[in-house]
A and B are shown apart, each in its own frame.
Chain A
Amino acid sequence: MKKSLEIRWHGRGGQGAKTAALLLADVAFKAGKFVQGFPEYGPERMGAPITAYNRISEEPVTVHSNIYSPDYVVVVDDGLLENTDVTHGLKEDGAVIINTEKEKEEVLPLLHDYKGAVYTLNAKDISLKTLGKNYPNSPMLAAVVAVSGAMEPGTFMKEMEASFHHKFAKKPEVIDGNMKALEMTFAEIAKSC
């Protein structure tokens, strides 16, 4: 991984893009990094486009602005591609990761000729197979870790498992499903490399 990474998340209010950014900050912190995770709020309503950000670094981070030239972009809702230039400012040696049920070829025309790497992930499918419900956060989190190398996959899995045990102390039956979702995502991303 580079010495410091900047990641921008695009989602809609209520879909968990902010939560995913905070989870990434959490797990990167546990892996010993300096982190920032913060949302940018527009109008506060369900369904409105929202942006969230992460900085992950080996050094303390003091910058408090939004991120305009991210290393990676994560799109939690492919419906945003129609109206939002999600790759705006995205570095060409970076990548965009899109949660979509569509084939990659179908979304490429919506990416404004972005020259860097494009990953698509059917997080809904992974989530339905492993958890029986559509919770795209865990797969998208694993995808950004797999693509960016923000931390070692082994460290990531270990920290996520600990965090699931804490979070789902009263629902241990969902821990395995969540872990499987992460594993499936890593396998999917490895396939698309």
Chain B
Amino acid sequence: MAVRERLSGNEAVAYAIRQINPDVMPAFPITPSTEIPQYVANYIANGEIDTEFIPVESEHSSMSAAVGASAAGARALTATSSCGLALMWEELYVAASNRLPLVLALVNRALSGPININADHSDSMGARDSGWIQIYAESNQEAYDNFLQAYPIAEHKDVMLPVMICQDGFITSHGVENILLEEDEKVRAFVGERNPEHYLLNPEETLAVGPYAVSSYYMETKRGQRQAMINARRVILEVAERFREMTGREYGFFEAYRMEDAEYAVVLIGSAAGTCKAAIEQIRSTTGKKVGLVKIRVFRPFPEEEIAAALADVKAVAILDRSEMFSATGGPLGAEVRAALYQARGRAEAVNYFYGLGGRDITVEDFCQVYERLERIAAEHEITDMYDYIGLRSR
């Protein structure tokens, strides 16, 4: 039987780490992810797990040490946020291109500047091209559930890629909510042990990790990484199915909420999905208008065809980005979803709004207004503000 609890998102991820008992965790503290290594260090000090904790002097080193441990054959992880992730930039690419199945617990926080400690996705969205699988959570429950699925995805022989498990800083990381926790033995059986095919500490097989690749090899390694991402699509769904068998909780590339008959849809990532769901229930019960939500869980690999199919019958869609990319057009999610719609010859009117930058709040009322705008756009077949903001002050 699952255990009913109330935990913050950081507590939930630390609890998952305790249950998995990974081999090596190098970490350097940064708000709002600091609590994760702090709780894990407590578990280690209390003798509950035997993870080797390595306090390091920077995130450049924490990711380097995780890369080294993973290459050696260990199950490794670290946690960070914001500028900490930025300092890992080089190693993120090293981890992915060396096909190291380590896991990063990322607590999303705005990148400087101005310096800001609150939630947005500029940190992980900046790392979207680094070759990592990225999985996002709406709630503490999802942060926990996603973390339990991370190693089975990462370590699958057809994948062998690092996985970033993302949750929104403070909103879920420091917010206490009800949660269902699985039993230790069930989690351990689900996650299993890492049995690396090739690893540095294998005396039977000498191996080099991270050597120079001349032009005649480099491109093939990139093709290999892409294949791993293609394979990850299948493996992510297989692991989700096994997870459903264990817990009854269903996961896919995204959650299609009230989309079966939706005419107006929002697409977004993360904790704001829960607020959007409350708006959907309010609108549907008071006006009967058919509104829905596509909440992206897996951003890398990007589920292009599936998203286009989910949006095939809507009249208008608003894609909401919680990070900038300064293309002077829209944000990263907007660009990718609109590309998916184009490929599928989608007919929906599509707009791309920024929200929640640096922790700017978004409310049920804000979502109600988004749906009203979509209705007008669909009625008039004219988009006056292709790119806009939610909650931006006029001065």
Cβ–Cβ contact A29 & B275, under 8 A? no
What chain A residues lie within 8 Å of B31 (beta carbons)? 44
B271 CB–A CB distance under 8 Å? yes
Number of A-B pairs, beta carbon distance below 8 Å: 61
| Shortest Cβ distance from residue B109 to the other chain A in the assembled complex, whole angstroms | 11
Residue pair A65, B363 in contact (C-beta under 8 Å): yes
In the complex, A63 Cα to B366 Cα: how many Å?
Answer: 12
B176:A35 contact, CB within 8 angstroms: yes
- CB of B22 within 8 Å of the partner chain: no
B277 touches A62 (CB 8 A): yes
Q: How many whole Å from B57's CB to the nearest CB in chain A?
A: 22
A68 touches B6 (CB 8 A): no
Partner of B271, one of A34, A40, A64, A66: A64
Partner pick for A63 among B6, B118, B174, B275, CB 8 A cutoff = B275
Q: Is the CB of A25 within 8 A of B6?
A: yes
B contact residues around A63 at 8 Å (CB):
274-275, 278, 364
**Complex interface residues of chain A between 25 and 63 (CB less than 8 A to chain B):** 25-26, 29, 34-41, 44, 60-63
Given the complex of chains A and B, what is the CA–CA distance between A89 and B168 in angstroms?
26
Q: Given contacts A25-B6, A62-B275, A65-B275, is CB(A37)–CB(B361) below 8 Å?
A: no
Check if A66 sits within 8 Å of B361, measured CB to CB.
yes
Chain A residues with CB below 8 A from B272, complex form: 64
Q: Which residues of A contact B177 (CB under 8 A)?
A: 35-36, 61
Interface size class of B (residues with CB under 8 A): 20 to 34
In the bound complex, how far is the Cα of B178 from the Cα of A60, in angstroms? 8
Q: How far apart are A169's CB and chain B's nearest CB, in angstroms?
A: 15
Evaluate contact between A29 and B174: CB separation under 8 angstroms.
no
B275 contacts A26, CB within 8 Å? no
Cross-chain contact of B176 among A36, A41, A68 (Cβ < 8 A): A36
Contacts A29-B6, A41-B117 given; indicate if A64 touches B178 (C-beta within 8 A). Answer: no
B171 interfacial by beta-carbon distance below 8 Å:
yes
- CB contacts (< 8 Å) of B168 on chain A: these are 64
Contact with A along B344-369 (1 / 0, CB 8 A): 00000000000000000111100000
Chain A residues with CB below 8 A from B278, complex form: 62-63
Nearest chain B residue, comparing its CB with the CB of A62: B274
Q: Is B170 an interface residue when CB atoms closer than 8 A count as contact?
A: yes
Q: B117–A64 contact, CB under 8 A?
A: no
0 or 1 for each of B99-134: is its CB under 8 Å from A? (1 = yes): 000000000000000000110000000000000000
Decide yes or no whether B175 CB sits under 8 A from chain A. yes
Could you name 11 residue pairs across A and B whose Cβ atoms are closer than 8 Å?
A: A22-B176, A25-B176, A36-B176, A37-B176, A38-B176, A61-B274, A62-B139, A63-B275, A63-B278, A64-B171, A64-B274
9 nearest A-B pairs in the assembled complex, by CB-CB distance = A62-B274, A38-B175, A29-B6, A64-B271, A37-B176, A65-B363, A63-B278, A64-B274, A25-B176
